[in-house]
A and B are shown apart, each in its own frame.
Chain A
Amino acid sequence: GQQLNQSPQSMFIQEGEDVSMNCTSSSIFNTWLWYKQDPGEGPVLLIALYKAGELTSNGRLTAQFGITRKDSFLNISASIPSDVGIYFCAGQGGAQKLVFGQGTRLTINP
């Protein structure tokens, strides 16, 4: 099946630092999505990207849909303790079916 490669798998940063993570795919997607998952909870949508080249922000989060439609990145600026969690990218092709990356586990040292 389709696979997304998400990196890095984990990050350990100091509070206040900026964070960057990305996803690449061998397939083209029509939509790229970024989710955050807190322990014991389901993923929650952070940002949705619908057009190649699109750059979208949501507060301190910024994500871009790659020009080739095979990649996307997520940046978090000035990290705070509540940013801790697992971040997933997901690509959407047809029929609303999502393919998820393996996740990036973010740990923040105060």
Chain B
Amino acid sequence: NAGVTQTPKFQVLKTGQSMTLQCAQDMNHEYMSWYRQDPGMGLRLIHYSVGAGITDQGEVPNGYNVSRSTTEDFPLRLLSAAPSQTSVYFCASSYLDTQYFGPGTRLTVL
């Protein structure tokens, strides 16, 4: 089992560019989520999904889109990157009350 994988590990964007952060899990978990981590802020929930075809907003969804076409994949899309989206992004999948986090994507928007 690879667990939760995220790509890329690092990314630099210019303001206004778009990109997709990839997340995949091989544990057949129904629940997946995206968080962003900023210094001194802990992790904040962006979007989550309780199963294929079902997504919902978290605490800080603005500027991000998600879709869940398969159980395994949960990509996060930035349509027009802004400097305020500079952060470390973590994807997680969970079984019951245990969330398993990926290694993170460090994104810088110039």
A and B part of one assembly: yes
Q: Which residues of A contact B4 (CB under 8 A)?
A: 42
Does B31 have its Cβ within 8 Å of any Cβ on chain A? yes
A: interface residue count bin: 20 to 34
Q: Which residues of B contact A92 (CB under 8 A)?
A: 97
Chain B nearest CB from A58 CB (Å) reads 13
Q: With A1-B59, A40-B104 as known contacts, state yes or no: A50 contacts B97, CB within 8 Å.
A: yes
Partner of B45, one of A6, A40, A97, A102: A97
Interface of B (DSSP majority class): strand
Q: Which residues of A contact B40 (CB under 8 A)?
A: 9, 102-103
Does A96 have its Cβ within 8 Å of any Cβ on chain B? yes
Q: Would you give 24 A-B contacts (Cβ < 8 Å), ordered by A?
A: A31-B97, A33-B97, A40-B103, A40-B104, A41-B103, A41-B104, A43-B90, A45-B98, A45-B100, A48-B98, A88-B43, A92-B97, A95-B50, A96-B31, A96-B48, A96-B99, A97-B33, A97-B45, A97-B58, A98-B33, A98-B43, A98-B99, A100-B42, A100-B44
